């Protein structure tokens, strides 16, 4: 039987053949529509045009190995293997299948990833700064016999440590810093709006890199004049 190519607002057969990343899956239309608010529910609602391959099969651009577990969950609520939990959480997020996401949050590896992401992403432009640190560390490690890359990040230390000092900065820390937040801003602006990196930012970066598999070390070079700024000397071993 030859399938038609429905336009938006048309209809689909009760059983559909779907090409997912080059692999064909046969499933009930009701399975794909099980969660109407999900991406799949929306795609197969007949409200939108669906991509098709050269043979006329409905097409979804996704990893077929992982999609197979998406289908199993839609059919029977069977959970994917735990060693695929991280990848499946990302796939469930992409397809907006909230019940699967909620179940996967109970897997330790997924919960740990969420905690780490929430912790790090509270700092603005975290991913961008992490990339800058890594690129500079790699460049310097390539020139170092020990394959270690040192990057200096300007930070503001906790105010409680400087109760008797004036919140002013000395050149000694800024001159050796490779990375500074909002470099075009004045020191007074940085102090007033909390836009300077702090110790927690650096510790978060160190934990992130360590959990990824890098050997890291952090040393804070404090101004001898007692100002509340320091340079976090981040060393990454390759």
Each residue's pLDDT tens digit, 165-199? 444 445 667 778 898 765 544 433 333 334 457 88
Given this model, what pLDDT does residue 10 score?
58
Note whether 170 and 97 are same-domain residues: no
Burial of 113 (0-12, 13-18, 19+ CB in 10 A): middle
Residue that is last in its domain, among 99, 119, 139: 119
* 215's tokens: 């050997």
Is 6 within a domain? no
Number of domains into which the chain is organized: 2
Asked whether residue 218 is assigned to any structural domain, the reply reads: yes
- The pTM for the full model equals 0.70
Distances 25 to 16, 103, 123, 187, 218 between C-alpha atoms, Å: 8, 24, 42, 60, 50
How far apart CA 212 and CA 206 sit, in angstroms, is: 10
- Domain limits for position 173: 126-237
Low-confidence ranges of the chain (pLDDT < 70): 1-10, 158-172, 181-196, 224-226
Residue 194 in domain: yes
Residue 102 has what pLDDT? 97
Instruction: State the residue for tokens 């050796």.
Output: 176
In a domain, 108, yes or no: yes
Are 184 and 151 in a shared domain? yes
Q: Are residues 71 and 50 in the same domain?
A: yes
What 8-state DSSP symbol labels residue 198?
A: B
Nearest to 60 by CA among 47, 51, 69, 68: 51
Please say whether the beta carbons of 119 and 204 come within 8 A. yes
Residue 23: closest CA among 86, 68, 56: 68
């Amino acid at each position: 039987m030859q399938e038609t190519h429905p336009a938006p607002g048309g209809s689909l057969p009760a059983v559909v053949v779907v090409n997912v990343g080059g692999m064909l899956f046969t499933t009930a239309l009701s399975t794909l529509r099980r969660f109407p608010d999900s991406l799949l529910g929306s795609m197969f609602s007949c409200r939108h045009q669906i991509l098709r391959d050269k043979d006329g099969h409905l097409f979804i651009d996704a990893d077929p190995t992982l999609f197979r577990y998406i289908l199993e969950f839609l059919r029977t609520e069977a959970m994917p293997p735990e060693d695929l939990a991280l990848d499946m959480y990302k796939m469930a997020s992409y397809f907006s299948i909230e019940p699967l996401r909620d179940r996967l949050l109970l897997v330790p590896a997924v919960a740990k990833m969420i905690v780490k992401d929430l912790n790090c992403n509270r700092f603005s432009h975290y991913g961008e700064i992490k990339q800058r640190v890594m690129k500079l560390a790699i460049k310097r490690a390539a020139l170092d016999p020990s394959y270690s890359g040192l990057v200096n990040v300007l930070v503001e230390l906790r105010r409680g440590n400087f109760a008797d000092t004036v919140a002013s900065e000395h050149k000694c820390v800024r001159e050796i810093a490779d990375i500074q937040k909002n470099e075009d801003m004045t020191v007074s602006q940085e102090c007033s709006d909390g836009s300077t990196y702090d110790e927690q930012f650096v510790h978060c970066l160190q934990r992130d890199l360590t959990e990824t598999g890098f050997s890291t070390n952090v040393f804070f070079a404090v101004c001898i004049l007692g100002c509340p700024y320091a340079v976090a000397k981040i060393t990454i071993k390759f």
